[in-house]
Amino acid sequence: MEYGYYSAPQQFMETGSGSSENGSMGILIVLLIALVIAFAVVSHMKAKLQTAKKRHNAADYVQRNSLNLFVRQDHYLYTSEQRRRIQQPQNRQPMQKGR
């Protein structure tokens, strides 16, 4: 019997290698392998991270003579202001109850 491209599922069914027991075990093996590979990749990426050492004071983060403040004055440069009159509501009659 000659098997072509479209008859591949037919061959698979005839050989019996498509049993559900083997299929579920194969899926578990593939998932386990994928999990191991993912764990290895993430572990490698985590090992490459360089974390900063925790310091208690803000002054500990500034290197000596790297910040020089000579003037203690702020210059306010720009102002943008818009004014609009709040419109008063027009005369409305209160709603009557019971109708």
Look at residue 3 in the predicted model and tell me its pLDDT.
53
Spell out the residues 6+ positions from residue 55 whose beta carbon is closer than 8 angstroms to its own: 61
Is residue 12, in this structure, part of any structural domain at all? Answer: no
More confident residue, 45 or 98: 45
Is residue 36, in this structure, part of any structural domain at all? Answer: yes
| Domain count for the chain | 1
Q: What is the average pLDDT score of the chain?
A: 77
Look at residue 17 in the predicted model and tell me its pLDDT.
52
Average pLDDT of the segment spanning 36-58: 88
Which domain does 36 fall in, by range? 19-50
pLDDT confidence tier of residue 19, bands split at 50, 70 and 90: low
Is residue 83, in this structure, part of any structural domain at all? Answer: no
Is residue 98, in this structure, part of any structural domain at all? Answer: no
Average pLDDT of the segment spanning 61-84: 80
Is residue 8, in this structure, part of any structural domain at all? Answer: no
Is residue 39, in this structure, part of any structural domain at all? Answer: yes
Is residue 43, in this structure, part of any structural domain at all? Answer: yes
Is residue 26, in this structure, part of any structural domain at all? Answer: yes
* Inter-CA distances, 47 with 36, 37, 38, Å: 16, 15, 14
The pTM score is 0.36
